[in-house]
Structure 1
Amino acid sequence: MNQAMEYKKVIYIHQYKALTFDCYGTLIDWENGILGVLKPLLLAHNTNLDDAQILELFAEFEAELEKGDYIKYREVLKRVVQKFGERFGFEPTADELNSLADSIQDWLPFSDTIEALKTLKQKFKLVIISNVDDDLFAFSAKHLQVEFDQIITAEQAKSYKPSLNNFRLAIERIDLPLEQILHVAASVYHDIVTAKSLGLSTVWVNRRAVQKGINTTGSAISQPDLEVPDLKTLAALSSAK
């Protein structure tokens, strides 16, 4: 039995009309984007951390900042850099403070993302629900090469996932019954738990199943309706008879 057929036993994807996606970590390879900025920045300040340490601290600082009163994601990333400086005893320059947000325009999709989105676009409405600013996502949209039917950002919701607010705004705009919406995400903490609590079916894109890496998506206990190792597998499901 091939992998797609094995997954097909778990969920029947053709019952859905809209697929909602987390972006960073699901469609865009944000870990390499983060490391490409923070690793040399830290080394410039005589701080030598391995990839795991950098990504775990990033996740810690980001989650802390997103729990408070809403601030734009560009400011979140600026303060993440500041917190690295506070933790390791250095003062980032103005350019360094802006370096993470400025680098988003260069963060690239995973190798299977574009082809999978193009395949899925033939059968489903595609929607983004992302913890980002409108202008920052606009950079990523150019890399993704498909037209999304709706784009819901943290800037529009004035809150960050795992807040219910972001998903409720998306559901309102999509204007379909819950049973016709399938949420696709790499983060159990930010996405799967909240989406399921609202009655949405969920797909966990668990790239960790085939790629060795660090958990920057947060941990939480929740059972997705479907687990796939990549978007290529999800797209194959949509094409299966």
Structure 2
Amino acid sequence: MNLADYDVLSFDCYGTLIDWETGMLAVLCAWAGESGLDVADEALLRAYGDHEAQVEADTPDALYSAVLAEAFRRTGDQLGAPVSEQWAQRLGDSVPDWPAFDDSPEALASLARDYKLIIASNVHREGFAGSNKRLGVSFDRIITAEDVGAYKPAPNHFEALFEAVRELGVPRERLLHVAQSLFHDHVPAKRHGLSSVWINRRSSRPGWGATPEPAGEYSYGLEFPDLISFAEVARAAKS
């Protein structure tokens, strides 16, 4: 893959640019401690992840804040510790508090010199507005689940993404998708014939964390352990 062949980069946000697992664990661990549960961080993420994906499939029109709250309730039921409405709301409202990965602002600023940047994320507009303050870059387009009425891996984001690229006057083949989640992003990217790069943020940890195991065929052109490594290669390709 030659990164000079692309002019637009589309990004997943949570897990790729924003450290959603650290953000969620701040709430999940506090709840588990109050509930008397002795559950390791990875086990909490694993229990939560499948519920979030199922809630997104069950209620594609729900705001992401409501998805978080319902997935938390289902996680509590699974673990035998009911989640109060206060705790559910706390997780639902927590998106703006989730930290950016340390390298995200610098990497995005570098990439913005050579590429148009688009967000294609499973989030609501208000939640992403809070996260965008941590990223420090102006995106050329922002596509949220609230905008398209569905959650990845459903096709809605990708259909909206191709339309956005058309509006920007860039050929579809010069779009590259950059994401961490194989389940949410690389499986549907392959299905849509979209080139992609894997930012493998969990490369030093086993398992899938809060992201379900991929449920279909996927592929990616390049793999990087972080965003700054990708940005350095992309910058060199455009030089």
TM-score > 0.5, shorter chain as reference:
yes
1:218 aligns with 2:212: yes
In structure 2, C-alpha distance between the alignment counterparts of 1:17 and 1:149, rounded to whole Å: 12
CA-based RMSD of the aligned residues comes to 1.3
2:12 is aligned to 22
In structure 1, C-alpha distance between the alignment counterparts of 2:59 and 2:27, rounded to whole Å: 26
C-alpha displacement of 1:84? 2.5
Q: How many residues align?
A: 230
1:194 aligns with 2:188: yes
Could you tell me whether the CA contact under 8 Å between 1:55 and 1:214 is conserved in 2? no
Q: Which moved more, 1:21-30 or 1:44-53?
A: 44-53
C-alpha displacement of 1:91? 3.4
2:107 is aligned to 116
Matches within 5 A, 1:26-105: 26-70=16-60, 71-105=62-96
In structure 2, C-alpha distance between the alignment counterparts of 1:44 and 1:126, rounded to whole Å: 41
Q: Which moved more, 1:213-222 or 1:225-234?
A: 213-222
Q: With structure 2 as the length reference, what TM-score do the two structures score? A: 0.92
The C-alpha deviation readout for 1:186-238, integer Å capped at 9, x for no partner, is: 011100111122121100111232x3254122222422111111111111112
C-alpha displacement of 1:92? 2.6
Could you tell me whether the CA contact under 8 Å between 1:19 and 1:127 is conserved in 2? yes
1:229 aligns with 2:228: no
In structure 1, C-alpha distance between the alignment counterparts of 2:91 and 2:120, rounded to whole Å: 20
The C-alpha deviation readout for 1:162-187, integer Å capped at 9, x for no partner, is: 01111111110221322110000001
Q: Any idea what SS the aligned residue of 1:48 has?
A: coil
C-alpha displacement of 1:90? 3.5
In structure 1, C-alpha distance between the alignment counterparts of 2:207 and 2:26, rounded to whole Å: 15
Q: Any idea what SS the aligned residue of 1:127 has?
A: strand
In structure 2, C-alpha distance between the alignment counterparts of 1:190 and 1:184, rounded to whole Å: 12
Q: Any idea what SS the aligned residue of 1:174 has?
A: helix
Name the aligned partner's letter for residue 130 of structure 1: S
Could you tell me whether the CA contact under 8 Å between 2:114 and 2:235 is conserved in 1? no
In structure 1, C-alpha distance between the alignment counterparts of 2:137 and 2:116, rounded to whole Å: 11
2:174 is aligned to 180
Q: Which moved more, 1:69-78 or 1:150-159?
A: 69-78
Could you tell me whether the CA contact under 8 Å between 1:186 and 1:217 is conserved in 2? no
Name the aligned partner's letter for residue 205 of structure 1: I
Q: Any idea what SS the aligned residue of 1:182 has?
A: strand
Q: Which moved more, 1:144-153 or 1:163-172?
A: 163-172
2:198 is aligned to 204
Could you tell me whether the CA contact under 8 Å between 2:177 and 2:196 is conserved in 1? yes
Indicate the percent of aligned positions where both proteins have the same amino acid.
40
Name the aligned partner's letter for residue 33 of structure 2: L
Q: With structure 1 as the length reference, what TM-score do the two structures score? A: 0.91
The one of 122, 131, 137 aligned to 2:122: 131
In structure 1, C-alpha distance between the alignment counterparts of 2:134 and 2:58, rounded to whole Å: 31
C-alpha displacement of 1:94? 2.5
The C-alpha deviation readout for 1:7-46, integer Å capped at 9, x for no partner, is: xxxx111111100000000000111111111011022111
In structure 2, C-alpha distance between the alignment counterparts of 1:200 and 1:49, rounded to whole Å: 38
Name the aligned partner's letter for residue 48 of structure 2: F
1:153 is aligned to 144
Could you tell me whether the CA contact under 8 Å between 2:165 and 2:172 is conserved in 1? no
Name the aligned partner's letter for residue 43 of structure 2: Q
In structure 2, C-alpha distance between the alignment counterparts of 1:151 and 1:182, rounded to whole Å: 15
